[in-house]
Structure 1
Amino acid sequence: MRLLLAALASLAALVAASPAGPLPTGPLPARMADTGGGTQLITAEAPALGSTTGTVTWWDRRGGRWTAAGSAPARFGANGLADGATRRQGTSTTPTGLYGLPYAFGIKARPATAYPYVPVTERSWWCQDNASRAYNRWVEGLPADCRAAEAEHLVSYEAQYAHALVVAFNYDRPVRGRGAGIFLHVNGRGATAGCVSVPADAMRRILEWADPARRPHIAVGTRGGPTAITRY
């Protein structure tokens, strides 16, 4: 009898600690608190913070329902993922969170996409110098206050930047030291320095699918815990 009473007490405590109301069900975007307000969404989900691989899925919302338009294996930072609100530059971690996708770019010719597309030239750099006024921005020609050692010469990344989307992490009001140059791009040889990458064919399909008029965002997170993608 004492064992039965103890079991009932444990069950009651578990129920009391559970969230009120039914848990959300359905496709991943339907279980998220925020999808950016548009009718397209990209999710990049990893099993855990320390993971370097996971899945990217792109979604459409039509008639009030989210459906998957495609998916592909994804790669993340060499040191896994980190909370985007506290991430530090140079840690080779992919920032979790929900972000806009302001424009696309690439070394290869413009694909069949409705997205604004900026071609990479020999003068194209992404400034990551914390002391520069151009911090976390594309520049054509390296500014005097942005050191080459603290910038990416985009044309040097022939495979990765064949086609890419800019992820608006730390972009609108950059916090120095938080991180710069986070993209969704084509796979390189292994894990990334903090970006999300997918196979070349998947990147092309994403660009063909993406429509800026439908305000797509990207949500990066884990399957559970404080950085679970369903929190965004």
Structure 2
Amino acid sequence: MSVYRPSAARRPPHAVRAATCVAAILLLTACDNTSETDIATRKVRASATASAGVGGPQADGIPGKAAPAPVAPRLHPREIPALGPQIRAEIPADSRQALVVSGDFYNSSLSTAVLYTRDDPARGWRAATDRWPAHNALNGWTDEHWEDDLRTPVGVYGLTAAGGLLEPPGTMFPYNQSPSFAVSGEGFDGESLEGSFNYVVAVDYNRTPGASPLDQERPLGKERGGGIWIHADHGGPTQGCISLPEDRMRELLRLLDPQKKPVVVMGDVEALER
């Protein structure tokens, strides 16, 4: 059985070419129009996105996610150099002055001293003086001081009273001027002791805080020693005290402020690093 198929209408070759050109022109025109439309649409969308605040800085390469604000580095308060965690923990939180006396080694009578302050707790401690030469006891240092052991007690102790043979050099400390501070005789190296107590600051080891340096009360008992002072240097070892050059004693007395709860931190280098 045959199926009827009508014959296709034929056009001359030039008509076909003309139609082909027209179609191509229309296609190109349509493409050009589409491109302009797309560009315009993209510009409108970009403008709207910018107005909405979405097109700002990107975080982690994710479009539209704002970068985090810069974080300021955390500041750690400065610590006193060469002090270990155990000794640091013994310094009262409300103390803002610390005289650090560092002995050369356990059995040495030679040491140095620096006064530190922390007026701004957020910034921590800073040195308020140069490093001063100092002496300590003839036999060095001890963690357990006893009468006549000729050693200086290691530790952190309050400074609450001062005195001396001479008039106070403009100090804010309670100051007991008395002829009882006169001293004579010779030290362990044959040096004169005269003038050693022209200026003194009492160290609150086995004594009543705030009392005159001349006070004889010994809360721990007399066998545990006492009368530990910071006083003017006589050029040799002490019996248990700390000694500084007399001009440094005057400077120390001018700088110490009872309102800042001053302390002395003292010991040989190894002990202070604990």
TM-score normalized by structure 1? 0.69
What is aligned with 1:160? 196
CA apart distance, 1:33: 2.0
The percentage of aligned residue pairs carrying the same residue is: 30
Match status 1:170 vs 2:203: no
Report which of the two structures shows the higher radius of gyration computed on alpha carbons.
Answer: 2
Does the residue aligned with 1:206 lie in a helix, a strand or coil?
Answer: helix
Q: Which runs of 4+ in 1 moved over 6 A?
A: none
| Structure with more of its chain in helix, by fraction | 2
The alignment partner of 1:201 has SS state of helix
- Structure 2, gaps ≥5 residues long: 1-76, 185-193, 209-218
Q: Deviations over 1:89-139 (max 9, x none)?
A: 112111111111120001111111111100022xx3xxxxxxxxxxxxxxx
**Which structure dedicates a bigger proportion of its chain to strand?**
1
Gaps of 5+ in 1: 1-23, 125-153
Give how far 1:63 is off: 1.8
Instruction: Tell me the number of residue pairs that the alignment of Structure 1 and Structure 2 aligns.
Output: 172
* Cα contact 2:114–2:128 (8 A) shared by 1: yes
Say if 1:104 and 1:57 are closer, same or farther in 2 by CA, change over 3 A: same
Residues of 2 paired with 1:185 and 1:82: CA distance?
A: 20
SS in 2 for 1:102: strand
- Structure with more contact order per residue of length (Cα contacts < 8 Å, sep ≥ 6): 1
Contact 1:36/1:98 (<8 A) preserved:
no
Q: 1:111 aligns with which of 165, 169, 178?
A: 169
1:229 lines up with 2:272 in the alignment:
yes
The residue type equivalent to 2:89 in the other structure is A
Q: TM-score, normalised by structure 2?
A: 0.59
Aligned counterparts of 2:252 and 2:80: Cα–Cα separation in 1: 19
Match of 2:128 in 1: 69
For residues 82 and 46 of structure 1, what CA distance do their matches in structure 2 show? 11
- Given that residues 36 and 216 in structure 1 are in contact (C-alpha distance below 8 angstroms), is that contact kept between their aligned partners in structure 2? no
- 1:100 is paired with a residue whose SS is strand
| Superposition map of 1:1-232 within 5 A | 26-28=79-81, 31=84, 32-37=88-93, 38-64=95-121, 65-70=124-129, 71-83=131-143, 86-121=144-179, 124=180, 154-157=181-184, 158-172=194-208, 173-224=219-270, 228-231=271-274
